[in-house]
Chains A and B, each alone.
Chain A
Amino acid sequence: MMVLITYDVNTESEGGKKRLRRVAKQCMNYGQRVQNSVFECVMDSAKCREVKNKLEKIIDKERDSLRFYYLGNNYQNKVEHIGIKESFDVEGTLII
């Protein structure tokens, strides 16, 4: 299934910048960065629990927020892209 992960990390303090980097790095491990703080991850529910757990440990719940959008298995027709930075389909044919 496709899970969309977005976040807002408060970077006013030094610790915030560190958290932001760590969150971004973890998200990168699981999915494709489609916009600055938006990641598309194609994964099963076990992987999803894993990433959720990791991210929850990193963020400061008083200051930051995380959002997960579950787009299910038939996500292809739910996503539309306009403009630059075209993403690629991890489940499609990958010839590079």
Chain B
Amino acid sequence: MRKLLNTVYITSPDSYLSLDGENLVIQKGSTEAARLPLHNLESIIAFGYTGASPALMGACAKRNIALSFMSQSGKFLSRVVGEVRGNVTLRKAQYRLSDNMEESTKIARNFIFGKIYNGRWVIERATRDYSERLDAIKLKKVSEGLAKALNLVLNSRNLDELRGFEGESATQYFSVFDDLILQQKDKFFFHGRNKRPPLDNVNAMLSFVYTLLAHDTAAALETVGLDPYVGFMHRDRPGRISLALDLMEELRNVYADRFVISLINKRVVNFSGFMQKEDGAVIMDDDTRRTILQAWQNRKQEKITHPFLQEKLEWGLVPYAQAMLLARFIRGDLDEYPPFLWK
């Protein structure tokens, strides 16, 4: 397996990114804040209206370093994409599959199967770990509901049916999401998913972490030569990284949601870092965002055994491993795309 390289987060909006030789140079005003060799980097994420030189963009595109720009609040703005190259046969095979509704459904089924399966285990594990603090009967019921949904997903005939099952099981899953929050309950609660803008602390964190994950999955797909914009369940829409969103489905609960919950339960974040604006939108302050990035980076370094590959790797490489398996399936080396099934 490939080595997991580092990600740089630039959170100060007054910095400028440029290239010097083989180095990324981050300038704050007229002083040099950091100088990093590009070969140590996997991706660069800039928050706020940080500028970057075209030379750096070119160098990143050439070396497969994902360079993304986000707004101060973590909303995705743009990604730098280099010239189209790499494996054209693989991409064409991907487009053919995406145009074929029946084949698309087959792949989408596996993404959603993974999502529901992982969601179920997030709940099962919480029930097991905190049996005396949680309403085990309620959680068991949801878990059983999700188990039933798994069978329905496997037998779904088209994408609409599949989306229906997916939506239903997401509602079920999120109905007990609030129960998983064990600490700071008066300030961190979850009464349903809302976005654009998020209306409570938990949703603000979820949105932020999902953006980070989408950046990682898109970068992973790009690395293995797939087109992150052409999806199977998420259909084409200009500017949307549909395939990255597809691939993200199975990682959402097990990677992002659990991460958010552990930040709250371990009191890594606290409510003073959140502000509510007049229109109800909740935003995080810079320190909280930094804390989350730091924790996210640490989570990426944690090692697990990949359930399909049976190989030890870092969490941060899971999107890459899945992208690689997807590419193998599209190329015809695997009979089916194996979703990431985490227990």
A residues contacting B by CB (< 8 A) are: 25, 28-33, 41-44, 47, 88, 90-96
Contact = CB atoms under 8 A, between A and B. Distances in A.
Interface size on B, as a range, is 20 to 34
Nearest to B4: A91
B37 A96 contact: no
Contacts of A93: 293-294, 297-298
Contacts of A30: 22, 37, 39
Chain A CB within 10 Å, residue with most, of B11, B12, B22, B39:
B39
A42 B40 contact: yes
A55 B210 CA distance: 44
- Nearest first, the 5 A-B pairs at minimum CB distance are A29-B22, A94-B8, A93-B297, A29-B21, A90-B40
30 contacts: A25-B21, A28-B21, A28-B35, A29-B21, A29-B22, A29-B23, A29-B37, A31-B37, A32-B35, A32-B36, A32-B37, A42-B40, A44-B3, A90-B6, A90-B37, A90-B40, A92-B6, A93-B293, A93-B294, A94-B6, A94-B9, A94-B297, A95-B8, A95-B9, A95-B293, A95-B294, A96-B8, A96-B9, A96-B11, A96-B15
Contacts of B35: 28, 32-33
Contacts of B73: none
B88 interface: no
A43 B39 contact: yes
B96 interface: no
A29 B7 CA distance: 18
A41 B37 contact: yes
Contacts of B40: 42-43, 90-91
Interface string B18-57: 0011110010000001111101100000000000000000
B6 A91 contact: yes
Contacts of B23: 28-29
Contacts of B298: 93
B33 A96 contact: yes
B10 interface: yes
Contacts of A41: 37
A92 B9 CA distance: 12
A91 B297 CA distance: 10
Chain A CB within 10 Å, residue with most, of B9, B40, B294:
B40
A52 B272 CA distance: 51
A91 B7 CA distance: 9
A33 B35 CA distance: 9
B191 interface: no
Contacts of B22: 28-30
Contacts of B33: 96
A88 B37 CA distance: 12
B42 to A, nearest CB: 11
Contacts of B290: 95
